[in-house]
Amino acid sequence: MFAACCSASCSPGRPFAAPPPVAGTYAPPDGKPQVSATLAVTPGTPSVLDIAMARIGDARPVARYDVELSKRLHVIAVGEDLRVFLHEHPERPGVDGHFRVPVRFPQGGGWHVYADAVPSALGQQVMRFDVSLGPTGAKLPAGLLLHVTAPKAGTHLLRLQFSAGRRVRTVPFVVAVA
């Protein structure tokens, strides 16, 4: 048996199916990236964004950042419909070099997340990540916990149907069961 949370609003400590980490894309149209970056999302209320930058050719996360505009990292999240704009600032990276940023996303759907930082001696780096936080327009933080008994270990496709009035939306989920 496994439990999966069907929206990006599971409470911390509850079981959920977190999306895999996403690689960032260098956002500025000019210049040259000096880092690679990853973003992992832990669904919750708030969700937690785990952002790590590493010098290109080095797998170790950058540990030192210069302060720019009074902060070490600026995280900007824009809903795919461009109606919501969030701007957050974590204080410092953890000892592992990762920034963990709590963010209260007001709705599900696609989000463009930008991480703007100045890793020491590398210059300004702006990375873009595209993430999906459940069905488009879904109001967060209303969570839904679903329990399913898998017939056997392996990868399974679940199709969940959500309805409101006469409108029905089907959302596929791929879940790996050990």
The model's pLDDT over 16-61, given as tens digits with 9 standing for 90+, comes to: 345 678 888 888 877 789 999 999 998 877 889 999 999 999 989 9
Residues 77-89: b if buried by 16+ CB within 10 A, e if exposed = bbbeeeeeeeebe
Q: What pLDDT does residue 106 have?
A: 85
Q: Residue 175 and residue 16: Cα distance in Å, rounded?
A: 10
Please tell me the number of Cα atoms within 13 Å of 59 on its side-chain side.
0
Say what percent of the chain tops pLDDT 70.
Answer: 70
Q: Residue 136 and residue 141: Cα distance in Å, rounded?
A: 13
Please say if the pLDDT value at position 3 is more than 60.
no
Taken in order of first residue, the domains within the chain and their CATH numbers are 2-132 (2.60.40), 150-177 (no CATH)
Nearest to 48 by CA among 87, 96, 99, 14: 99
Q: 151 or 76, which is more confident?
A: 76
Q: State how far the alpha carbon of 45 is from the alpha carbons of 29, 90, 115, 132, 170, in Å.
A: 34, 17, 21, 16, 24
Cβ(146)–Cβ(160) under 8 Å? Answer: yes
Please say if the pLDDT value at position 118 is more than 90.
yes
Where residue 12 falls among pLDDT bands split at 50, 70, 90?
very low
Please say if the pLDDT value at position 127 is more than 60.
yes
Q: What is the rounded average pLDDT of the residues 75-86? A: 90
Nearest to 14 by CA among 26, 4, 28, 24: 4
What is the model's pTM?
Answer: 0.66
Q: Please, what sign has the CA dihedral across residues 73, 41, 134, 44?
A: negative
Please say if the pLDDT value at position 82 is more than 50.
yes
Where residue 126 falls among pLDDT bands split at 50, 70, 90?
very high
The DSSP output letter for 68 is B
